[in-house]
Amino acid sequence: MSLLVVGSVAYDGIETPFGKTDRILGGSATYISLASSFFAENINLVGVVGKDFADEDIELLKSKNIDLEGLQIDSSGNTFFWKGKYHHDLNNRDTLDTQLNVFEHFDPIIPEGYKDAQYVALGNIEPSLQEKVLDQVNNPDLVVMDTMNFWIEGTPDALKQTLKGVDLLVINDSEARELANEPNLFTSADKIREMGPDSLIIKKGEHGALLFTGDEIFSAPAYPVIDIFDPTGAGDTFMGGLLGWISYTNDLSPVNMRRAVIMGSVMASFCVEKFGPERLKSLNEEEVFTRYKEFRDLSVIPEIK
Ligand code: AMP
């Protein structure tokens, strides 16, 4: 099964209460691809990097069997750079610097060989660029999209247009309320699903996630992560784990979507244990499936006899 991933490929400067790094590989497409590569085989990445992009980072992506034909290398400038700082409450971060660099003129050109992708992951980029991707692909089975407040507030019309072509939207709770202009999360979900996406996942940070699909609502628990070090990329990693699992199993049934939400949560819970995508590089099967089981055990509700 093939998975097309479009989004940012970046270098990040990150400061958390536990440490600081001036430059580490980041970007939404990077996290989605690395997380999905744990399960999925044919991952095709579309993005842009600049002349400063390191060979070792290209090698890292290749070593995870991520196809880079769609990764444009623009030698006219540097790679997108983002710098953020987290405070004591790791749910809040300040963006200290955003240098668009080559990302400013990014035109997502989908190589011929990627156009029949079964699964499409639209990482968090400008909605009109996400729409451009949808215009180029041939009837995928599932289009999953992420977005953020910046686009909900800044380009609401383009966002709503793009949403019409999306099957599953993944956003956090404050974004859902803002997009629907509605304080109640469940009413928000109904309104958002009327905008286009058949299914919806609302992430609630350290409090788990809600999946709305068909007539079902699934409430996924949050894993009690003790070793939280750096939350950067957790949202993208969630989407990568989710889509990696769906792509690997090729099963869109509601029960498998539930598994996928947990796999997304498993991968995100590992991601935050180290700086940037470090932890995703070294994960093994036993760790992933053990944590999946821990997630299950967290929310088993005993029957009343
Ligand atoms: P997350 O923590 O899941 O929201 O994603 C963090 C990643 O998003 C970082 O690695 C950044 O490089 C990337 N990022 C930050 N701002 C933007 C932006 N405006 N457009 C695209 N990617 C961004």
CATH number at 48 reads 3.40.1190.20
Residue 231 CA: nearest ligand 1 atom is: 2
Contact 178, 149 (CB under 8 A): yes
Q: Verify whether ligand 1 is closer than 6 Å to residue 12 (CB atom).
A: yes
Q: Verify whether ligand 1 is closer than 6 Å to residue 26 (CB atom).
A: yes
On the question of pLDDT at 76 being above 90, the answer is yes
Give the separation between CA 152 and CA 156, rounded to whole angstroms.
5
Q: Verify whether ligand 1 is closer than 6 Å to residue 28 (CB atom).
A: yes
On the question of pLDDT at 227 being above 90, the answer is no
Please, which pLDDT band fits residue 69 given cuts at 50, 70 and 90?
Answer: very high
Specify if 303 maps to a domain: no
Give the separation between CA 218 and CA 21, rounded to whole angstroms.
37
Give the separation between CA 79 and CA 101, rounded to whole angstroms.
6
Q: Which of the listed residues 82, 152, 270, 274 should we mutate to test ligand 1's pocket, taking the one with most ligand atoms within 8 A of CB?
A: 82
On the question of pLDDT at 181 being above 90, the answer is yes
Contact 291, 266 (CB under 8 A): yes
On the question of pLDDT at 28 being above 90, the answer is yes
Contact 265, 223 (CB under 8 A): yes
Give the separation between CA 142 and CA 166, rounded to whole angstroms.
8
Specify if 81 maps to a domain: yes
Specify if 304 maps to a domain: no
- For the chain, what is the mean pLDDT? 96
Q: Verify whether ligand 1 is closer than 6 Å to residue 222 (CB atom).
A: no
pLDDT value at position 129? Answer: 97
Residue 81 CA: nearest ligand 1 atom is: 12
pLDDT value at position 225? Answer: 82
> Structural domain of residue 187, as residue ranges?
2-298
On the question of pLDDT at 205 being above 90, the answer is no
pLDDT value at position 66? Answer: 98
| Number of folded domains that form the chain | 1
The two tokens of residue 105 are 């003129």
pLDDT value at position 77? Answer: 98
Specify if 251 maps to a domain: yes
Residue 82 CA: nearest ligand 1 atom is: 12
Specify if 186 maps to a domain: yes
Strand 2-6 and strand 19-26: pairing?
unpaired
On the question of pLDDT at 192 being above 90, the answer is yes
* Proportion of the chain above pLDDT 70, given as a percent: 100
pLDDT digits (tens, 9 = 90+) for 252-301: 999 999 999 999 999 999 999 999 999 999 999 999 999 999 999 998 99
Specify if 10 maps to a domain: yes
* Proportion of the chain above pLDDT 90, given as a percent: 93
On the question of pLDDT at 305 being above 90, the answer is no
Residue nearest to atom 17 of ligand 1 (CA): 82
If you ran DSSP here, which 8-state letter would residue 111 be given? P
pLDDT value at position 299? Answer: 87
Burial of 138 (0-12, 13-18, 19+ CB in 10 A): exposed
Q: Verify whether ligand 1 is closer than 6 Å to residue 276 (CB atom).
A: no
Specify if 52 maps to a domain: yes
Angle, vertex CA 215, rays to CA 209 and CA 220, nearest 5:
20
